[in-house]
Structure formats: C-alpha cells, structure tokens
Structure 1
C-alpha cells in the first residue's frame, strides 16, 4: 500500500463531509473519503459530490444523523442529507460473485482494503483520510492517475462481469481523462458484452457525456469496443458516419447537450442507418422526459425541411418561432447546412418582432360575418400568416384583409 501526504480542501462541500466523518468517528467507528472525489481533487477538477466509506453499519448511520435516505440499505449504503447536500455513506464490505451482472450474490462487512478491491477502476479506489492527513492507495491508483492510465481493479473480466455498466463508465473516464488503457482492461472491454444494463442507467451515462468537449472520444471508444448498439438506435455506426459525427461534435455549438444529441440522431437517420419511423419507435421507448422526446423529435423533423433551402413565408416564420428553433439553428451550423445563415437571420428577425399580435379576436370575426366552425380557424390563421408575411400590421388592415379574402 502506498501512502502520500494530503491536505483536505477547505471548500464547503469538503468541510461538510469532514464533519460527517468526525461524527462517525466520535461514535467509535472509522470513516474516510473514497472514490471520485479524491480522483477529481487530485486532478484539479471541481468536486461537487462526496462519497464516504466507513465500518459503521447502516442502522448506526441512520441513528447518528437526523436526515438520511436508505437508498441501498441492503448493501450498506445510506445517504446523509446535510444542508441540502447529499453525502453517500457506504459500509466497508466484501462482495460475493455477481448474480446478474449487477448485484452480488452475497455481501459481508469488510475492511478498507477489501472494500477498495470491489471498486471498478484503480483511480476510483483511492482513500482520503482527513484525520491522518494522507491518501492511501491499495491498488496502484495513484500511479495510474498520474500516467492517465485506465485499469480495472483486479481481474478485468471479473470486474466488468460484476456490472456491465462499467463498460460505459470506462468509455467516459477514458475519454474525459484522455487515458491509455492497460492491455488486460482493453481486451476485456472488447470481449465482455454490455448486456442487461437498464435503459435508465444507460441514459444516465449518456447525459453525463452529451455536450462535453470529449464526447467524440467517448463515442469513438464505444464503437471501437463494439458497444454502439447499447446507446444507439441502429445495429452499427459505420466508420464513415462516425467520422462525420466526430467532425460535427468538434463544433463549439455542439457543447450544448441537446444540440449534440440532435445531430447524433440526425446522422443516423440522414445516412440511412435507421428509418424515421423506426427511430421514432425506438426513441419513444427510451426513459427520457416527455418534453425532451417532443423537442428532439420536432428538431429531427424540422432539420430535413430546412437543411438545403428555407420554406417560403409565412411557413419560414412559423418554423423559426418554434420553441426548438434556437437548437435547430445551432444544428444547422454544426452540420454545415447551406441554409444555416438564412435560418439564423430569420430567427433573429422574428425574435426582434416579438409575439404574433391578436389583431382580431374570434368574436370580432364573427361580428364581421365569418361563420362559426372551421372557416373561423382558417381566417384566424390567415390573419397571422398575413402579419408574418408583412402584408398587414394593424387591426384596420386586418379587417380589410378579412373582407378581401374571407367575405
């Protein structure tokens, strides 16, 4: 085991975490920081989430703190809520063999050394001890972190077999930290199938990646390792299409997560990896919000309509007034569409014009002689179209328009 001196940062999240550790220690138990918070702090990245490991059983943690959430009590995991922040406190444990590539067949209390051996990657298994003022490394994680090397703890295939989500996590960490892969880790990532991972967990991983500067490396890894189908709607992502996506994702506007997602699915549809209808069925089955499904689907519907030439007025004005229009404008620039400038200009013009005014109400149209029913809706929309086209601008002109076109 390697030990190095360590001074805990004095930011609020770390100080809150230390107070939790001290409370556990005062009760006669051991407690330390563990995992990603230590990794990110050593890498100079901001730390938002703190994980704590302890030899205190879950019931003790629940008794010690007034606000807790038993998210994984069977596995010794309790969330301690302090001043609105959530701190995961997990009991040191030893896991038995995996039952379903997700849950161990058995668990038992373990030591600090045993606990780190069940973790996924070596640089995620570092221990930070604020009381001793040191970092303890049982698995050569410090060396791997320093050399930007991704290595699974222990036997690589065994670690991946315990939880296939680790394949997606491997792609994320390798991309984020620009890691090289240890040979046994690289081999296992290509040979172990990523099966049985819930859609919710897959999308949680995707949402940590979309919009990141390193998202291209992430998808490149997944394609190389043969796991594109886990996240994508088509059986394969050919090298040529992957290259186009990587180029698009280099664009600064692809730092917007929604834009990044839209152009990825647009590539799949545009290059005939999947039909519109098949994609719609696939996306409808994904565990994302209804609003997100609506927005992404609408953007994918608009893009083919405007990629080459914009429609005539007033349809052009109506399109750029849709809620998703700013993201569509960004997508057009990302993919290098011929119409990108014209769409952006139309969007700006309509934003400056403001909302469509109600020049005449339905009741006013009825008073003018328009019958109730479908014709009333046609007339109302016609007035809006005339205003959008710049043919009318006030109520008097709207009345004249109605007389000339609908009476």
Structure 2
C-alpha cells in the first residue's frame, strides 16, 4: 500500500505530465521541514478544476468554485487546489470571488508565512515567496503581508494563530500579535461551530496552558467564552490555595493533565471553578473566603457555555456532570460503601479522578482522598462495582406489588444492601424484600 506521500507524489506527477505546474503546499511542507510526517498532503497546481477532474475521474468537486478538488486513491485523500487570488471577504469567512493565478500570487493569499511554502514533490526543492523558511527556523509565527488584512478576510485565522503558536511553541510576531488584539471582535462574525472546533483543538494540545494564556492576553476569549475573564484576580483562601487566584489555579491544572487528555476532561478542568467569582463571599466569623455552591452553579454555567458553542450533548452532559461532582471527592472517605461504589461507577469517574488529582496537586497538595480511591478501586476490582441485581421489578410484581414509585425505592434499598455486602444471595434478598414490603 503506497504511503500518503507516494500517492500525493503520483498525483502531482500526473498533473505535471499533462503540462501543469504541481507543488505540495501549506502544512505538509511546513511539517516536512520540521522533520514531522505530515498527516495529509495538499497540492497546489496551475490546472483548473475542470482539468483536474478530467485527469482524476471520480474526484469530488467540493470546492470547485474556489478551485478545490478532492481526489482519492488507495484510501488516501488529497486536496488539489488551483493557484488563485481571492476577492473580497464580506462574511469574514470565504472570498466572494476567486481568480486563478500564479504560485507567487497564491502564496500571498495564505494566512501565515510558515503555511505559504511550496515544495516540488520530485526534487524536494522548497519554493518560498513569503519568507516562511526563515520564520520556521526562527520559531516565529507571522501573517503574510498586512496582518490586519489577513484577519479581516477570515477572522477564524485569529484562533488559528493561537493554535499554531501553541502547537509549534512559536512566538507571534509583534505586528501580527497587535493585529490579533485589534481585530479580536472579528470572532463575532464566525459561527459558534467553527469557533468550537478551533478552540477544542487548542484546549486539547499538550501546551494547552499557553493556548489559554494567548486567548486571554489577545482578548479573543472575551468574544466566545467571557466567563473565563472573572477568574483573573479572584482570590482564594491561601491555606487551601497558596498558588494564587482561580485563573492561576486553572492554568496550572491545565498544564498538569496528561498530553493525551480527552476533550471532556480538558473542558472540565477549564470550567470546574468557573462559578467561583459569582459565588465568592467572605466569612467574617471564620476570616475566610468561601465559594458555597460553586460546583452546582458551575455545572449550570458549563452547560450554558458549551451549549452556546454547539458542543454535542454527550460532551455537555459529561462536562457538567464532572463539574457538579468535583467537590464531592473531599467526602469519599466518609461515604458508605454503597454510596462510594455508585460514585465510582459513573462512566466519567476515571476522568474525574484525574481532575481531582490535578486539583489538589495544583493547590494544597493533599493526596489522601486520591490514595483512598485508588486503593478502593483495587479492592473492588474483582467484582463489578454495580453487580447484577438480586431482585428485579418482575420479582416485585410476582410478589403481588403493583408498579409504582415505591418500586424504585425498594430496588434501590435492595441494591444498597447488596453493595454493602449484607445481601449476597437471591433467596435471602427476596425474603428481605418481603419483610420490607409487608
């Protein structure tokens, strides 16, 4: 099976054989120069969409109006785009018109210099009209041409700048950075779905802490998740949070979770204390800052934020659930075994355990509840946390009971006895229920 590069090279050669110019373009060139294997390959060519589709029967003209054709072979998909210049961008997303042009002009319409590079697939020669190689070597993210124009054309580039700087560890060139700050409100023209997708990619990066800092310092976050800003300067009880305010605490936690943390965990960490600012009070008697109910209100706020950004329901539900329960970890050693097993049986529990770990490690450093839960997890590992029920609703009907809300109360009571280890056999459980129902 050919590699993605071999397939893309074969496509480029077919274009060249037909008399067209064909280069690898954009991210695949950038990644290759960094010694990274590109995930996919894009080709920029002098061939028009009609000429491309003639050379590649069965290709998909998904963006033929913009000069883009998708070709596929051996399971590898390659985007083939005609060299072009773009007209005005009235919607801040895509050009109203395009004009097919030259490689030099095509490079000038792209977003950042490190993404404006071309490569000859056969010789490996890099064609650089925008100074991208120098910026790549220097670790600098720079908009091509006038940064204000690039961000006005497509305001999603504001978030892409943060993502590239975070992913690559690059510094954003001062003029580009200033333009990002000046045009941050351009995000208001972008759909929540597009913002969501870029933000998700940023918050899932290993360097997600820096990603958040760039979003805050540039002013971008104000236009899609302003609830984060009150975390800055929201002071906490020093005996529990010697690290500082809620924003500092949250940033440290984001840095501490694993590089491959799932989206739901990343969002739960970001939002777990989102309600501390509105719930902050000062207890004069105890001389202490308190945030009573911030877990409950935080779950509501998290749901509102994620729903506004059009996250899928299952993501919203999991994140809100984790936020709602993050304060319950302080009570796990006092829980009855039945309650503890139910607590640990939640599908999100492994992620919640990691949230608790970094919550403590980033603040007071307490590990007793974490160690207790790990030990209990090992102790309970031999059997399912929630075993097969000894008694069912059908059994209750057989006993002559009519279906009612009382059913669930009885079944939950039986399960509690079972989880506590006081009922282990079906026969004894049925007798216990008869006594309870009589």
Q: One fold, TM greater than 0.5?
A: yes
State the 1:170 CA deviation. Answer: 0.8
How has the CA–CA distance of structure 1 residues 46 and 207 changed in structure 2, closer, same or farther, with 3 Å as cutoff?
farther
CA change 1:329–1:268 in 2 (3 A) is: same
Q: Which residue of 1 aligns with 2:118?
A: 127
Q: Does 1:306 align with 2:329?
A: yes
Match of 1:28 in 2: 19
Provide the aligned length of Structure 1 versus Structure 2: 398
**In the alignment, which of 40, 46, 57 is matched to residue 37 of structure 2?**
46
Structure 1 residues 308, 145: closer, same or farther in 2, change over 3 A? farther
TM-superposed CA distance for 1:143, in Å, is 0.6
Equivalent pair of 1:95/1:106 in contact (CA under 8 Å): yes
Deviations 1:207-261 (A, max 9, x none): 2233322111111111111111344251625163332122102224464132221
Query: What's the counterpart of residue 306 of structure 2?
Result: 283
Residue pairs, 1:14-25, within 5 angstroms: 14-25=5-16
Q: For CA contacts below 8 A with separation 6 or more, give which structure has more relative contact order.
A: 1
In the alignment, which residue of structure 2 is the partner of 1:219? 212
In structure 1, C-alpha distance between the alignment counterparts of 2:392 and 2:147, rounded to whole Å? 69
Q: Does 1:238 align with 2:200?
A: no
Q: Which runs of 5+ in 1 are unaligned?
A: 1-9
* Equivalence for 2:287: none
Q: Is the 8 A contact 2:203 2:212 kept in 1?
A: no
Q: Which moved more, 1:136-145 or 1:84-93?
A: 84-93
Q: Does the 8 A contact of 1:253 with 1:259 survive in 2?
A: no
In structure 2, stretches of 5+ residues that fail to align are 234-244, 280-293, 361-365
Match of 2:431 among 395, 400, 403: 400
Q: Distance in 2 between matches of 1:251 and 1:207?
A: 18
The range that moved more, 276-285 or 161-170, is 276-285
RMSD of aligned Cα (Å): 2.3
Q: Name the residue aligned to 1:328.
A: 352
Q: Matched residue of 2:44: which SS?
A: strand
Matched, 1:341 2:371: yes
Given the two structures, how large is their TM-score scaled by the length of structure 1? 0.90
- Give the CA deviation at 1:56: 1.2
1:208 corresponds in structure 2 to: 201
TM-superposed CA distance for 1:379, in Å, is: 1.7
Secondary structure in 2 aligned to 1:32? strand
Aligned to 1:87, the other structure's residue is in SS state: strand
Deviation at 1:64, TM superposition (A): 1.9
